[in-house]
Structure 1
Amino acid sequence: MYRMLVDMTTTLITGANKGLGFETARRLVAAGHSVLLGSRDAERGRRAAERIGARPIRIDVTDDASVQAAAAAVGDLDVLVNNAGAQWEMTEDGIIGAPGLTADIMRDTFETNVFGPVRVLHAFLPLLRRSAAPVVVNVSSGLASLTSVTTPGHPAHAYPGVAYPASKTALNMVTVQYAKAFPEFRINAVEPGYTSTDLNGNQGHQSVEEGAEIIVRMASIGRDGPTGGFFDANGTLPW
């Protein structure tokens, strides 16, 4: 196992007022992290943070001014968990596949899932670079794996959507390139698994406790941990 970071570790989690983000925040608070619970809605964030002993911070990853204000309000940062995500191609009638895909759906999906993490990383880099052991966790998806999606019989092969998998594949590339650019960081992408959250209409077969396991684990690695990888709870995943 990797050496765990617990003492005086300041951690920011985006999209953390519910779902995987909230469970990750809860677990990291319990592990001794000083957690900044990020939320687009200030009141929802305040209530969620109060429940677990975290500090609320308003941050909308799609808005430059919001992200810059959040960065200005944070004094120190050791761990960044880019958890906020969107799945705009999921509707009440099912998932919009390639025949129904529009540029607007693709743009909106990338705005949150790709541009959002890049926007947050750029704003918080100065703080992370001051940390003795900076860690970044990008919450990706098994649908990002080109290997899995192109393998007949694999669950990901049957997924009809385009925008969400494409955005998470792009996020994986962002992860790899940032890891190469900042070798002193530990920067990894993780696949929580098909977890029951609002993102998928609560259709996932895993609980948030199960899904948050790999996020918590990778948020807690020390300087001897891996970087530039793609992981789920069982180990390394194929690109």
Structure 2
Amino acid sequence: MFTVDLNCDLGESFGRYALGLDAEVIPLVSSCNVACGMHAGDPLVMKKTVAMAADARIAIGAHPGYPDLQGFGRRDLNLSPEEAYAFTVYQIGALAGFCAAQGVELNHVKPHGQLYNRAAVDADLASAIAQAVCDVDSELVLVGLANGKLIEAGRARGLAVAQEFFTDRNYTDEGTLVPRSRADALIADEEFAVRRAVRAVKEGTIESASGKTIAIQADTICVHGDNAHALEFVSKIRSALESEGIEIKPVE
């Protein structure tokens, strides 16, 4: 039996600014990653998002990012490992508080944006993030880019790890995400994206942007809920996985 988690980054609204289709996406996924107020989100949004996820009985994860609201956490702030550790502990603690207040468990941690991308290739940054997760709660699952440094750092500390695959993002020959600055960073062909998601789970391989076959482990698949076709896309992926006999369940 093949199993995979479907996760989505949620709770990214802030103040009077609304972002994403959180209420509509939540019933279609098995886990969510909630912004913790640094790159997006705020206390009221965090509280609301945790409540919606709890009602839907999906797994809840912290989604810490760089302290960069204006850049949505997608700019490289070049934090020191000490700073990255502190900001990660701070954000996990904030979301854990909202989970505790509502009687639900925090399940995992998945860094956001450039913090995530850099931790996939920077061993020192990955080590700081993994140590932060371990020090807050060693039972939390650490989510990172498949085959990346963050996965290695989590394993080194005895954490449960989940290797993540992005079905709507292109990959380099080295297995990293194609930078968003490139025109081919995103995959627009939904049918192709759905087929490669099934292939990643069942065969453990995908094609890079150049056409090279690369190995990948997909414990969890990220789907985005902040574009016009998000709901249709997530529905298609879920239906395709289930039709292939793939069970959708949270990472643990």
Bin of the TM-score, shorter chain as denominator length = 0.3 to 0.5
TM-score (ref. length: structure 1): 0.40
Choose between structure 1 and 2: higher helix proportion.
1
